[in-house]
Structure 1
C-alpha cells in the first residue's frame, strides 16, 4: 500500500518512513487540475472514519472535518485532509499517484469489498 501524503506531521511512525515534512512539498502555485484532484481525493473509499476536526499542521488556524479519516482508491491511501493541503497550500503529491488519477480520468475506481477489507487489515496492523 502506498501512502499519498506520507508526511512526518500527518502519519504515525508505525506506517514506515515518511517522505519528509509536508513543508518540503509545498509549491508556489496550484496544479492546473487542482479541482479534479481535490474531487478525486474527496471521493475515495473510506477505510477508517474518524469524527472530529484536525488542525492544519501548517498553521492557518483552520480545522478540517474528518481530516484524520483514511481513504483509498485501491492502490493508494490518504488522509481525509489531503484535499485541503492540495487546495490551500499547493502540496505536491507523488507523481505515480497523479498518474493514477489521470489514468482514471479523475473518477474514483470501483474497489471490491474484499480488497477494501484487506486494506483495512493493513491499516489496523499499523494503527
Structure 2
C-alpha cells in the first residue's frame, strides 16, 4: 500500500524538495486538537529508523529536536521531528490528515495492528 505523506517540508534535510514550505504553515496560536495531534504523531509506528538527530531548521540555536526516523499509522507517513514542529510552531497540517486522525479518535495504531512490510513510501 502506498502511504500518504505529511510533514516532509522542503527545508528539512530529510524532507521533500518539492514538498510544502515549513515556514508557510507556521501559526502564532495552537491549532484545534493540537495536543491530541502531537500525541498521535509521537505514537506512530516506526517505519524507517535513521541514526542521528536533527536540529530546528527555523531556529538554529535549538538542537537536537528529534530524529530523522519515519513513522506511520498504516495510511500516512511523517518524519520523526514533525511533533516537535507542531508543538513549537503550531503548524497547520492538511485537513485530510487531521480528518483522518479524528476518524481514528486520535488513537494511533498499536504494535501488530499494521503490517509495515506491505507499506510503500
In which range does the TM-score fall when normalised by the shorter chain?
0.7 to 0.9
Match of 1:54 in 2: 54
Give, in angstroms, the shift of residue 88 of structure 1: 0.1
Unpaired segments ≥5 residues, structure 1: none
Q: Which is richer in strand? A: 1
Structure 2 match to 1:86: 86
Higher helix share: 1
Runs (4+) of structure 1 exceeding 2 A deviation are 109-112
TM normalised by structure 2 equals 0.85
1:109 Cα deviation from its structure 2 partner: 2.8
The answer to which of 76-85 and 43-52 deviates more is 43-52
Cα separation, 2, equivalents of 1:42 and 1:4: 14
Q: Which residue of 1 aligns with 2:6?
A: 4
Pairing 1:13-92 to 2, within 5 Å after superposition: 13=17, 17-18=18-19, 20-59=20-59, 61-62=61-62, 63-66=64-67, 68-92=68-92
Q: 1:3-52: per-residue Cα shift (whole Å, max 9, x none)?
A: 11131112144xxx31x210111112111321111110000010111222
Q: For residues 37 and 99 of structure 2, what CA distance do their matches in structure 1 show? A: 11
Provide the aligned length of Structure 1 versus Structure 2: 114
Following the alignment from structure 1 to structure 2, what is the Cα–Cα distance between the partners of residues 65 and 81?
Answer: 5
Residues 1:96 and 2:75 are matched in the alignment: no
- 1:48-93 per-position Cα deviation (integer Å, ceiling 9, x unaligned): 1122220111115221232x00001111110000000000011111
Q: CA RMSD in A?
A: 1.6
Q: TM-score, normalised to structure 1's length?
A: 0.81
